Structure 1
């Protein structure tokens, strides 16, 4: 596979190199990730995540996997729903993000039903049919082999369970694309440089959004993995989409 290439933002890199480069990005931004999320989205990312939790169907006693769970935003909400009889596993490939999330949730006194696992979404280290629900917020676009990750999620989801993928997507509202492009490629890197001291990582984040599959393509990929009744919800004019699928 050494001669196989994939995209890292707008650049083409060796297939196996992308994971290392993405790790470098998140090692760099981990300490400022929460602050930048609030600034970049004007706090709206919290509403997107709240909507994802509402669509999760989480109930007391369930087991939930939050992939790319890094800072623990979804996990904190989900842990309160599943309660002491349930569990929420936070999985993230990046140790820096995982450590930041662990410290943040411990500071909030949220720990009893949480556990943290460093895991690659393409080959999840859990038995088949382990989870009632799998969530992944703003992480799939950074995975090298997205189809393989969706296949792996399907394998470890219980029959009757659901998967939720919250991700930046393609604007569908009239006139929104040009404004969004201006913000992404001019304002966002500038904010990265001034606030996080890292312009290049935030330029990559903007580029990675453009390279991510659009709404219908991702829906088809989920169906290919085996998920049924797949649908999606466009949020903020399609800047973000929440995809949902079930295993029956």
Structure 2
């Protein structure tokens, strides 16, 4: 059994095993635990990252491919999305979902580690991640890789859970987030790794919205804009890679 302390070290093999254990119910629990807000969060994130219709987009830590699918809806015939994830079970489910939804022509999913992306420098107009960069063992290295493969003038988008600032809502939300969510998640997923106890712990140990902006800027991005959604439950950070 992998302990919460071990999971929070974010050793790659532990994160792979944890996500592999919940892959089959991942989409269902995303919908239930977010009260179906997760779809609108991704749609908004795609909008503010300003992907053009012919863009090449990389969605790292793609999971079952929902962000990749959201991006594909704004692209035309020449636009392409690649989703990458280092969890084999997630990639397999994403591939199955894409074929079922007839997205296979516009989206390709591959098994790849965000810390070692198999792409040349400046290959994509947009590099994006939804609820995944928090699980990468080295946050700075993960963002740096996303910047590396993004073309000059392109954008890096990070959609991630955040910490509400309104004290009343924060108290109510944290009770749900730390008590109810893990209970429902464990009940449905039956994961032996307590993945849905790891979720709130990892969010509370992650940089706040301003800390994440500072990390993105330190990796070379400029004009990093923060968008807060649903009373601060999530934030979208969008930064631009300089042209020189």
Q: TM-score, normalised by structure 2?
A: 0.93
Deviates more, 1:173-182 or 1:223-232: 173-182
Within the candidate set 65, 70, 84, 1:72 is matched to 65
Conserved 8 A contact 1:84-1:112: no
Question: What SS does structure 1 have at the residue aligned with 2:11?
Answer: helix
* Alpha-carbon distance in structure 1 between the residues aligned to 2:31 and 2:7: 31
State the match for 1:115 in structure 2. Answer: 108
Conserved 8 A contact 2:23-2:90: yes
State the match for 1:155 in structure 2. Answer: 148
* Alpha-carbon distance in structure 2 between the residues aligned to 1:118 and 1:9: 26
Within the candidate set 198, 222, 225, 1:231 is matched to 225
> Which structure 2 residue ranges, 5 or more long, are not aligned?
none
Give me the CA root mean square deviation: 1.8
Closer, same or farther: CA 207–13 of 1 in aligned 2, 3 Å: closer
* Alpha-carbon distance in structure 2 between the residues aligned to 1:114 and 1:121: 18
Deviates more, 1:35-44 or 1:117-126: 117-126
Structure 1 runs of 4+ with >3 Å offset: 12-15
Note the C-alpha offset of 1:9. Answer: 8.7
State the match for 2:79 in structure 1. Answer: 86
For residues 146-196 of structure 1, the C-alpha deviation after alignment (integer angstroms, 9 at most, x for no partner) is 000111111110011001100001111231222122112211121123222
1:23 pairs with 2:16: yes
* Alpha-carbon distance in structure 2 between the residues aligned to 1:154 and 1:9: 32
* Alpha-carbon distance in structure 2 between the residues aligned to 1:230 and 1:64: 19
Question: What SS does structure 1 have at the residue aligned with 2:53?
Answer: coil
State the match for 1:104 in structure 2. Answer: 97
Closer, same or farther: CA 24–14 of 1 in aligned 2, 3 Å: same
> Which structure 1 residue ranges, 5 or more long, are not aligned?
1-7
Conserved 8 A contact 1:56-1:164: yes
Conserved 8 A contact 2:7-2:198: no
Note the C-alpha offset of 1:198. Answer: 2.6
Conserved 8 A contact 1:49-1:74: yes
State the match for 1:5 in structure 2. Answer: none
Conserved 8 A contact 2:126-2:155: yes
Q: TM-score, normalised by structure 1?
A: 0.91
For residues 46-103 of structure 1, the C-alpha deviation after alignment (integer angstroms, 9 at most, x for no partner) is 1111100111212222100011112121211222322221210001111111111111
Deviates more, 1:238-247 or 1:72-81: 72-81
